[in-house]
């Protein structure tokens, strides 16, 4: 068991275990595990629209889902988290979405007073100071606005893929989002490769973020995202100054499971439990 990935508890397993009253979510996860992304989106739109929305931050995966869903239902809702530190190219992309699809992307903003207090206390570039401060910035600018948005929905769709990063290795295509009131979260392209995503973009002429043509492989806030070097992972450009930490901001997993401990420190802190499985870090 020594080779188990200690980051895996960030997400439910691929076929999650739920309480009896939530068994239908488990059945949906099983039903759609090998289904086409379009089939899952069609089911989701039929079941949850209009209290369903796609989360799009500028990543190519989210754009693929937006295009797929629009072909199924042109009234699909799309939202994004405007942190106040996004690259100009992100706004350009959403203008193209408006022109191409007629979708008015719903922008969610952080609380101005919280941002002001944080910047006053720690400076505008606090994210470079420590992982804890970076997570604080993410919490105020992304996590809290997401909570407010999801409180108005019954389900949401994200462009997470299992190959993106180790903390996403075990995501299910249908999950119960316990961090957001138990609403349903769907990851229709969880089993897609990056090549497959770009094949879809080219086949359907999907608009994509201009920074992808400049060596970026993931899109986030401007101060926290850079282009990647050949051979680096997709997420290497996010918070690149951090070493051995989770490349997550907390919107796709509980912030309580993230922290400044390195992977090696978390591994050392794992203790065995009676059934032989690894426990969460102390």
Spatial contact of 156 and 183, defined as CB atoms under 8 Å apart: yes
Spacing of C-alpha 69 from chain mean position:
18
Given this model, what pLDDT does residue 25 score? 84
Given this model, what pLDDT does residue 159 score? 92
The answer to whether residue 182 sits within a structural domain is yes
Q: How far apart are the first and last CA of the chain?
A: 18
Spatial contact of 93 and 210, defined as CB atoms under 8 Å apart: yes
Say how many CA atoms lie within 13 Å of 167 toward its Cβ: 18
The C-alpha atoms of residue 117 and residue 27 are separated, in whole angstroms, by: 45
- CATH of residue 19's domain is 3.40.50.620
Residue by residue, what is the 3-state secondary structure of 252-265? CCCHHHCCCCCHHH
- pLDDT tens digits, the chain, 282 residues: what are they? 334 333 333 344 334 444 544 788 888 888 999 999 999 999 999 999 999 999 999 999 999 999 999 999 999 999 999 999 999 999 999 999 999 999 999 999 999 999 999 999 999 999 999 988 988 999 999 999 999 999 999 999 999 998 876 666 778 899 888 888 889 999 999 999 999 999 999 999 999 999 999 999 989 999 999 999 998 888 788 878 887 666 555 555 443 433 334 333 433 443 343 344 333 332
The C-alpha atoms of residue 179 and residue 279 are separated, in whole angstroms, by: 20
Given this model, what pLDDT does residue 67 score? 98
The answer to whether residue 280 sits within a structural domain is no
The C-alpha atoms of residue 101 and residue 154 are separated, in whole angstroms, by: 24
Given this model, what pLDDT does residue 9 score? 33
Burial class (CB in 10 A: 0-12, 13-18, 19+), 7: buried
Neighbours of 69 (CB within 10 A): 28
The answer to whether residue 1 sits within a structural domain is no
The C-alpha atoms of residue 158 and residue 80 are separated, in whole angstroms, by: 11
Neighbours of 127 (CB within 10 A): 23
DSSP per residue over 170-199, as a string? T--SEEEEGGGTTEEEE-TTTT--HHHHHH
Going 266 to 272 to 277 to 279, the CA torsion angle's sign is: negative
- Name which of 49, 72, 67, 83 is nearest 184 in CA terms: 49
The answer to whether residue 281 sits within a structural domain is no
pTM of the predicted protein model: 0.79
Given this model, what pLDDT does residue 245 score? 62
The residue segments making up the domain with residue 225 are 8-269
Number of domains in the chain: 1
The C-alpha atoms of residue 36 and residue 160 are separated, in whole angstroms, by: 15
The first and second tokens of residue 221, run together, are 């806030």
The answer to whether residue 3 sits within a structural domain is no
The answer to whether residue 152 sits within a structural domain is yes
Which residues does the annotation mark as catalytic? 249
The answer to whether residue 208 sits within a structural domain is yes
Spacing of C-alpha 173 from chain mean position:
13
- Name which of 200, 178, 172 is nearest 69 in CA terms: 200
Say how many CA atoms lie within 13 Å of 8 toward its Cβ: 12
The answer to whether residue 28 sits within a structural domain is yes
Spatial contact of 87 and 216, defined as CB atoms under 8 Å apart: no
């Amino acid at each position: 068991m020594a080779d188990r990935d200690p980051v895996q508890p960030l997400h439910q397993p691929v076929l999650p275990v739920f309480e009896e009253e939530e068994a239908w979510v488990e059945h949906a996860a099983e039903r759609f595990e090998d289904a086409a992304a379009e089939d899952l989106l069609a089911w989701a739109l039929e079941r949850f629209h209009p209290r369903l929305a796609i989360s799009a931050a500028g990543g190519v995966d989210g754009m693929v889902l937006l295009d797929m869903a629009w072909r199924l239902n042109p009234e699909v809702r799309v939202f994004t988290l405007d942190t106040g530190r996004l690259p100009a190219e992100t706004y350009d992309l959403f203008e193209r979405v408006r022109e191409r699809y007629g979708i008015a992307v719903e922008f969610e903003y952080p609380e101005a007073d919280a941002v002001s207090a944080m910047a006053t206390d720690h400076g505008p570039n606090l994210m470079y100071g420590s992982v804890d401060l970076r997570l604080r910035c993410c919490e105020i600018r992304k996590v809290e606005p997401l909570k407010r948005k999801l409180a108005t929905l019954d389900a949401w769709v994200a462009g997470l893929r299992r190959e993106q990063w180790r903390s996403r290795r075990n995501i299910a295509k249908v999950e119960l989002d316990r961090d957001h009131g138990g609403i349903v979260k769907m990851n229709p392209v969880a089993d897609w490769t990056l090549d497959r995503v770009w094949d879809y973009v080219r086949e359907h002429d999907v608009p994509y973020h201009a920074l992808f043509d400049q060596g970026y492989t993931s899109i986030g806030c401007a101060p926290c995202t850079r282009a990647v070097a050949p051979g680096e992972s997709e997420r290497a450009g996010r918070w690149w100054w951090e070493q051995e930490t989770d490349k997550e901001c907390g919107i796709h997993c509980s912030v309580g499971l993230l922290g400044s401990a390195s992977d090696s420190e978390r591994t050392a802190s794992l203790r065995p439990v009676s059934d032989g499985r690894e426990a969460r870090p102390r």
